[in-house]
Amino acid sequence: MAGKIYVGIGGWTFEPWRGVFYPDDLTQKRELEYASRKLSSIEINGTYYSSFKPASWAKWRDDTPEGFVFAVKASRFCTNRRVLAEAGESIQRFFAQGIVELKDVLEWYARSNLRFTRSQFTLWLGEGYLATGELELARAAAEDVLTASGETGYRHLEALARQLLGESLLESDTPAASRYIEESVEALRRSGARNHLARALVTQAAVLRRQGDGPGARTALEESLAIFEEVGTLSEPERVREALAMLDADDAGGRVDNQ
């Protein structure tokens, strides 16, 4: 089986290498530029410990030649968990910080035969676009996964893609968003993916609240909270309680208006 081997190093900022690997007159800000022309891949190790602004990701991309490959180390908040199923929010934050600037990564997946991995990666990328407000790109990512899921039968990913599509349409087309979220909730109920179902219910509650259905939104949130507490998800219950508090404020405001 033909393939390509990439040879690289774990980072590029190493004091002892200056004057040895790096020329004496090379400024520190050009070390990535220099190293990327001597090697075919470099690990971005710092992403394990902290997040970076989009401008940093864009600079790394621009400092390296065409065909160069980064190995991006996932955040410790994504990987160092007792329950990996709780990493969803951390993964969204990881992709939202600016990794979308490395668009060549998705193009590599598009050329590969790793269709499931590509679809999962595309979903994460779409969630990153959603978090940064790039709704058109988020929709495109969701639609790409829907197409792949229809061809391959990845029903679980299809349900998550419908949720993402609904979230990206919430502001511009609430009826369509409602339809996609409802389809996602139904599919996740059938699959038994409880944690993802609870997340979809939170989104469904946001749609129902926007449509003026406070009781329906409350029912969805209460079911979501019960699931999160049952499966032991640590970070999500507080978000649900905040959403319930917003409904309480809506109800209080309505009562004042009617007096």
Lowest-pLDDT range, 28-32, 58-62, 107-111, 183-187? 107-111
Least confident of 38-47, 97-106, 201-210, 230-239: 97-106
pLDDT for the residue 244:
94
pLDDT at 255: 45
Mean pLDDT computed over every residue of the chain: 85
Segment 143-157 mean pLDDT = 88
Instruction: Quote the percentage of the chain above a pLDDT of 70.
Output: 89
pLDDT of residue 257 exceeding 50: no
pLDDT tier, 98 (very low <50, low <70, confident <90, very high otherwise): confident
- Whether 170 is in a domain gets the answer yes
pLDDT band at 258 (very low <50, low <70, confident <90, very high): very low
257 assigned to some structural domain: no
Q: Does one domain contain both 103 and 206?
A: yes
Looking at the structure, tell me whether residues 199 and 243 fall in a common domain.
yes
The burial of 82, by beta-carbon neighbours within 10 Å (0-12 exposed, 13-18 middle, 19 or more buried), is given as exposed
Is 60 exceeded by the pLDDT of residue 175? yes
Q: Which amino acid is at 249?
A: A
- Please check whether residues 188 and 138 belong to one and the same domain: yes
Q: Same domain, yes or no, for 34 and 128? A: no
Residue 23, domain member (yes or no) = yes
Residue 200 has what pLDDT? 93
Per the structure, the count of domains in the chain is 2
41, 73, 105 - which closes a domain: 73
Residues 89 and 25 in one domain: no
- Please report which confidence band the pLDDT of residue 140 belongs to, taking 50, 70 and 90 as the band edges: very high
Same domain (yes/no): 134, 242: yes
Confidence (pLDDT) at 110: 58
68 and 165, same domain (yes or no): no
pLDDT band at 231 (very low <50, low <70, confident <90, very high): confident
Mean pLDDT of 86-106: 70
Question: Is residue 31 assigned to a domain?
Answer: yes
Q: Which of 73, 97, 119 is the last residue of a domain?
A: 73
113 or 60: which leads in pLDDT? 60
Which domain does 63 fall in, by range? 8-73
Same domain, 37 and 156: no
Long-range contacts, 204-211 (Cβ 8 Å, 24+): 204/178, 205/243, 206/170, 206/243, 207/166, 207/170, 207/174, 207/177, 207/178, 207/181, 208/178, 209/246, 209/247, 209/250, 210/170, 210/174, 211/174, 211/178
The one-letter amino acid code at 11 reads G
Same domain, 115 and 17: no
Better-scored residue on pLDDT, 87 or 10: 10
The pLDDT assigned to 151 comes to: 83
133 shares its domain with 226? yes
Mean local confidence (pLDDT), 14-33 = 94
The average pLDDT across 100-128 equals 73
Same structural domain, 183 and 240: yes
Quick one: 207 and 135 in the same domain? yes
